[in-house]
Amino acid sequence: MSVTRPVGFRAAGVAAGIKEGGARDVALVVADEPAAVAAMFTVNRAAAAPVTISRAHVAAGPTGRAVVVNSGCANAGTGERGLAAAEAMAAAVADAVGCEPTDVVVCSTGPIGTYLPEDRIAEGIRSAAAVLGDDEASGVAAAEAIMTTDTVPKTTVVVGDGFVVGGMAKGAGMVRPDMATMLAVLTTDAVVDPEVLDEALRTAVDRSFHALDIDGCASTNDTVAVLASGGSGIRPDPVEFIGALTAACVHLEEQLAADAEGASRVVVIEVTGAPDDATAREAGRAMADSALVRSAFYGGDPNWGRLLGALGASPVEFDPTRFSVWFAGVQVAADGEPVAYDETALLEVLAGGNFDVRVDLGAGTAAVPVITTDLTPDYVRFNGERS
Amino acid sequence: MSVTRPVGFRAAGVAAGIKEGGARDVALVVADEPAAVAAMFTVNRAAAAPVTISRAHVAAGPTGRAVVVNSGCANAGTGERGLAAAEAMAAAVADAVGCEPTDVVVCSTGPIGTYLPEDRIAEGIRSAAAVLGDDEASGVAAAEAIMTTDTVPKTTVVVGDGFVVGGMAKGAGMVRPDMATMLAVLTTDAVVDPEVLDEALRTAVDRSFHALDIDGCASTNDTVAVLASGGSGIRPDPVEFIGALTAACVHLEEQLAADAEGASRVVVIEVTGAPDDATAREAGRAMADSALVRSAFYGGDPNWGRLLGALGASPVEFDPTRFSVWFAGVQVAADGEPVAYDETALLEVLAGGNFDVRVDLGAGTAAVPVITTDLTPDYVRFNGERS
């Protein structure tokens, strides 16, 4: 199931000829009545036109009616013409479902630096609006229509006490950003005030998508949006609602990591012993961003020197003589120096697939995991192909 | 020729059994008399033991006598024991050539996180001191002894008006940092005061090695050292001396880029139209650091959207609507939007090998080049192997 599982939502995914090959490329998610809306957007300074437009639409009012997504073109690097094209998408949805353009969140994903085929998008939106459904097939069709290099659609359902959260996502944390922005659309039938929804989304994203760091890039188009219809009539405790929304985001995040293009394994770098969460996260990302660290992960090599070198080259303040490292639970460095361990046994474990790395900074009690993947020859080949 | 070309220097490179396979792994460069000395070191917070020791030695006085380098072990991530080992290297050189340990700059390069084989190093230093020569073969032997994954030794000679600058270098800007720290040793027979030498080195490095950015990493061991013997009796104008030292560093830098492990081409990203040099360099590095940008270089793909996305995700302030890009002189984006160009002709040019990329920020007149290479499947394979 997907975004259609909570009460009060319909969805559709159609093929509008934007992607080559006839795959679905326009997705529409519509709330039957005005719904509380919240969204988070990329921090990329070169944000795409749909991000600029959607940011303004979400800021304009506490409720929304629809999220429209096209794949096959990011509408980024497209100037004023791109802004007009994103506005036109919102207007087309407004026409089709009977709301204001400002009630529509617009997302695009695909190559940067080409203009949207506006006629096809408009026709696709009309087609999608005509086949909106609240069944499972309609939700899955929408999840398929937002895919780019994804090999499978990503959907989630989390059932709370009297309410439901549904969702869909695409991309893999910028593994292939000119084709694979990270987008997620969440729906819920909980009764949630807009300010609580906004707070809940920020917390959920912080604990899920923000922990995912495949190659250190923030795309021009990243967007996470949530609509709350209130259709269940249940107003959950905010803490309970945050928990359910976080679980949905974590579930989607795990699917993104597992589907990262060209990756052969998922590695969780947990930074412990940090003075605070922000330092732990910055440290984890500095190591996860290193092509050398991730090449070592590819080789199943417990090369703690690369972790030390990557962190040392970052702005993170830490004491190299308190730096300790474990691969798959086996300590390989203590207080900045090598320790003896059973190398044969550890290499065998690391060769097996996914593994965890723990890095302790010896400077506090904060701990934050960062999820990444290995860097593989396939990644380079995929990203070296002309798109 | 190499570090032995200027008057007043001898060098040697011997095999001490630190590297596997019997290759040369201890290099010694000695000034016959106390020489003015200057050095620059890595900014990595986890600096290796030899960097800590050498920093103190250079700070201790304005003259020096020798630079010793071992390959095969970085002596990084080795704590107090590593510091003692680096001090022991300086002491062994001091014994052999008759100077104070503080007159010796110590460098190590190789895998991080293993202890130095101290007996072999000491024996290697004695052997090297016994065969010091001022001939070309001795200079080349020293250049060979500092190689790790380098495929060829890198040396330079720049002849000034009555004085000479010689040099040797190894590595390729952290292309394989647990094996390939960037080290350079320069010698000159010009008469240069220590403070002028220090200023000249900073300028020369800024215009050469600092422009080289292969994968965004600063190793734990990077060191550039220069000794000025005064043996020519000529005191050049500082501007002339800076010019010659810069030329020598640029020549070495070009050899490093051309020998970058796993790279199939060298790409110069020139950022123009920047408000100042620092912004231009930070922008160039942000783009050169992107695995996605460098994967596109590998494919010969004029993918300006990736440059925009990478810069947008960096802390550099710029106006995406003033962002213009040229590949090999052909404009592909103007003021943040695509422009039409002869795609077939450009792809043919880019397929040919090295090329230049120009990115204009439309915000001033500063221009700085950053030299990088493409990211290739071979890079990942090299760096995924256990070292």
User: What percentage of residues in chain A have a pLDDT greater than 70?
Assistant: 95
How far off is chain B from A197, nearest CA to CA, in Å? Answer: 27
| pLDDT tens track for B366-380 | 998 888 888 888 877
Tell whether domain A266-384 is in CATH 1.10.10.10.
no
Tokens of A308: 């030390």
pLDDT of residue A254: 80
Task: Out of B46, B337, B347, name the one closest to residue A79 (CB).
Answer: B337
pLDDT of residue A253: 84
Does residue B200 or residue B385 have the better pLDDT?
A: B200
How far off is chain A from B153, nearest CA to CA, in Å? Answer: 24
pLDDT tier for residue A176 given thresholds of 50, 70 and 90: very low
Least confident of A62-66, A106-110, B278-282, B369-373: B369-373
| pLDDT tens track for B60-77 | 988 999 999 999 999 999
pLDDT of residue B339: 94
| pLDDT tens track for B149-164 | 888 899 999 999 999 9
- Residue boundaries of the structural domains of chain A: 9-258, 266-384
Q: Which residues fall within 8 angstroms of residue B57, CB to CB, at 6 or more apart?
A: B64, B90, B101, B102, B103, B104, B105, B106
Task: Out of A318, A347, A380, name the one closest to residue B45 (CB).
Answer: A318
pLDDT of residue B218: 67
**Rounded average pLDDT over A152-181:** 77
Q: Which residues fall within 8 angstroms of residue B284, CB to CB, at 6 or more apart?
A: B213, B269, B270, B271, B359, B368, B369, B370
| Dist. CA A242–CA A238, nearest whole Å | 6
User: What percentage of residues in chain A have a pLDDT greater than 90?
Assistant: 70
* pLDDT at residue B313 tops 60: yes
Residue at token pair 């080789």: A299
Query: Mean pLDDT of all residues in chain A?
Result: 90
Are B293 and B382 within 8 A, CB to CB? no
Contact A113 B333 (CB under 8 A): yes
pLDDT tier for residue A261 given thresholds of 50, 70 and 90: low
* pLDDT at residue B263 tops 90: no
pLDDT of residue B35: 97
Q: Which residues fall within 8 angstroms of residue A49, CB to CB, at 6 or more apart?
A: A75, A76, A78, A82, A83, A85, A86, A108
**Rounded average pLDDT over B253-275:** 86
Does residue A53 or residue B259 have the better pLDDT?
A: A53
- Contacts A374 to B, Cβ<8 Å: 384
> Pairing mode, if any, of strands A355-360 and B26-41?
unpaired
Query: Mean pLDDT of all residues in chain B?
Result: 90
pLDDT tier for residue B233 given thresholds of 50, 70 and 90: very high
| Dist. CA A366–CA A273, nearest whole Å | 6
Contact B383 A76 (CB under 8 A): no
Least confident of A312-326, A357-371, B175-189: B175-189
Residue at token pair 């965890």: A356
Does residue B266 or residue B16 have the better pLDDT?
A: B16
Quick one: which of A297, A217, A293 has its CA closest to A265?
A297
Q: Which residues fall within 8 angstroms of residue A21, CB to CB, at 6 or more apart?
A: none
| Dist. CA B344–CA B354, nearest whole Å | 17
Nearest residue of A to residue B75 by CA position? A337
Does residue A84 or residue B295 have the better pLDDT?
A: A84
* pLDDT at residue B15 tops 90: yes
Tokens of B247: 């030329």
Give buried/exposed letters for A267-303 (b at 16+ CB in 10 A, else e). Answer: bbbbbbbbeeeebbbbbbbbbbbbbbbbbbbbbbbbb
Q: Which residues fall within 8 angstroms of residue B198, CB to CB, at 6 or more apart?
A: B38
> Pairing mode, if any, of strands B154-159 and A366-373?
unpaired
Pick the CATH number of B9-258 from 3.60.70.12, 3.90.1150.10, 2.40.37.10, 3.40.50.970: 3.60.70.12
Task: Out of B114, B338, B381, name the one closest to residue A114 (CB).
Answer: B338
* pLDDT at residue A331 tops 90: yes
pLDDT tier for residue A155 given thresholds of 50, 70 and 90: very high
Residue at token pair 């997504």: A69
User: What percentage of residues in chain B have a pLDDT greater than 70?
Assistant: 95
Are A76 and B320 within 8 A, CB to CB? no
pLDDT of residue A218: 67
